[in-house]
Structure 1
Amino acid sequence: MRIAVVTSNRHKAEEVASFFAGVAEVEHISLDIPEYRDNDVRNIAREKARYAWEQVRRPLIVDDTAFSIDALNGFPGPYAAYVQGTIGNEGVLRLMAGREDRQAHFETAIAYADEAGEVRVFSGIVKGEVADAPRGGVGFGYDPIFAVGSRTFAEIPLAEKNLISHRARALAAFRAWLEDQYP
């Protein structure tokens, strides 16, 4: 089976390709997709998949990720990329100053579209907390301030992070469905 990963991030496409080695052949397609707005990352991924399907007309996946902080009523949620680009980790840490509740979670939704016309969405969540200060030297985005256990994502080696991350969990759910559909 061949699946297109529609993303402008070639590193993400490489990660997906390695995840599906031996299960499906992965093709990277870079496509500008409109930024859909919704409070549910699964709905955003679904709409992105519909748009991408209309453009490429072959089995594909897209994804979208939310970063939600409990003490901030789920902010930034599906607007995580915008918040990261405007106030960054330092701004998020300022918003969290003095807060005892530091619980947060990432959710990634993987949406799959094919000729059957139905878009299927698979999600993965990883819970953690917002660290008091940035730590670690690997990763990107919120990785230096998002801790799972005693380490931030930026302190966890990439190979290990790829086993426990929200994206890995969503991809695992999709792969399980795919293997069931195409044994």
Structure 2
Amino acid sequence: MVTGNCHKVDEAVSFFSDVARIEHVSMDLPEIRHEDVRCVAYEKARAAWERLHRPVIVDDTGFFINALNGFPGTCAAYCMKTIGNAGILRLMEGVKDRSAYFQTVIAYATDDGIRVFSGRIDGLVLEMPVGTGGFGYDPIFSFEGRSLAEIPLSEKSVVSHRGRALAGFRDWFISKKPSEYNND
């Protein structure tokens, strides 16, 4: 799995522990600017495949806040680095519509091409951070009455946007005949 974020690797490993070995490759990949998370993940997977020439998993996540016209969208990581949760909460001060969603796309590249798997959860932007777990926007995003930072990792892995995308990928991966993939 090519990512600079070890938390993403931990979630992926939990989904594949009995299926395949996941190796973490920390590598910077070019990230295109596009409104569609699928396009961003697809291009990252293509770039990772071209550099490594072995099966690779990449992911990309967007955080879309309806009252902010979808901002930060696919620029969620950059937004987190620059204004963080405090900046998002300042932008949301006094805003009544707090609806938002996360979308993660897992892209898997092999010599047979690239497949993408998407997961999404809808929730609300909280008025202040809540919880001590998770990472990124987890403390300010409420899903079914709790912030993602309050949900234990074992539960979060099942209900999260990344978990949903990983589950789709895992189901597809398992359905393939052993000769169709390399689980090294």
The bucket for the TM-score relative to the shorter chain is over 0.9
Whether 1:124 and 2:119 are equivalent positions in the alignment is: yes
Take 1:11 and 1:84, find their aligned partners in 2: how far apart are those partners? 15
Q: Which runs of 4+ in 1 moved over 6 A?
A: none
After superposition, the CA RMSD in angstroms is 1.2
Deviations 1:29-83 (A, max 9, x none): 2222112211111100000000000111111110000000011111100001111
Hey, what does 2:137 align to over in structure 1?
142
The one-letter code sitting in structure 2 at the alignment partner of 1:70 is N
Of 13, 33, 38, the match for 2:34: 38
Query: What TM-score, normalized to structure 2?
Result: 0.92
Take 2:135 and 2:6, find their aligned partners in 1: how far apart are those partners? 14
Take 1:13 and 1:170, find their aligned partners in 2: how far apart are those partners? 13
State how many pairs are aligned.
Answer: 178
Whether 1:51 and 2:47 are equivalent positions in the alignment is: yes
Query: What TM-score, normalized to structure 1?
Result: 0.93
Of 146, 153, 177, the match for 2:148: 153
Hey, what does 1:114 align to over in structure 2?
110
Q: Alpha-carbon deviation of 1:91? A: 1.3
Take 1:11 and 1:86, find their aligned partners in 2: how far apart are those partners? 20
Q: Residue 91 of structure 1: SS of its match in structure 2?
A: helix
Take 1:110 and 1:76, find their aligned partners in 2: how far apart are those partners? 19
Q: Alpha-carbon deviation of 1:158? A: 1.6
Take 2:21 and 2:135, find their aligned partners in 1: how far apart are those partners? 27
**Which consecutive residues of structure 2, in runs of 5 or more, have no partner in the other structure?**
179-184
**Which consecutive residues of structure 1, in runs of 5 or more, have no partner in the other structure?**
none
Take 1:29 and 1:128, find their aligned partners in 2: how far apart are those partners? 31
CA contact (8 A) 2:105 2:116 kept: yes
Bigger relative contact order, structure 1 or 2 (CA pairs below 8 A, ≥6 apart) = 2
Take 1:182 and 1:17, find their aligned partners in 2: how far apart are those partners? 21
The one-letter code sitting in structure 1 at the alignment partner of 2:169 is F
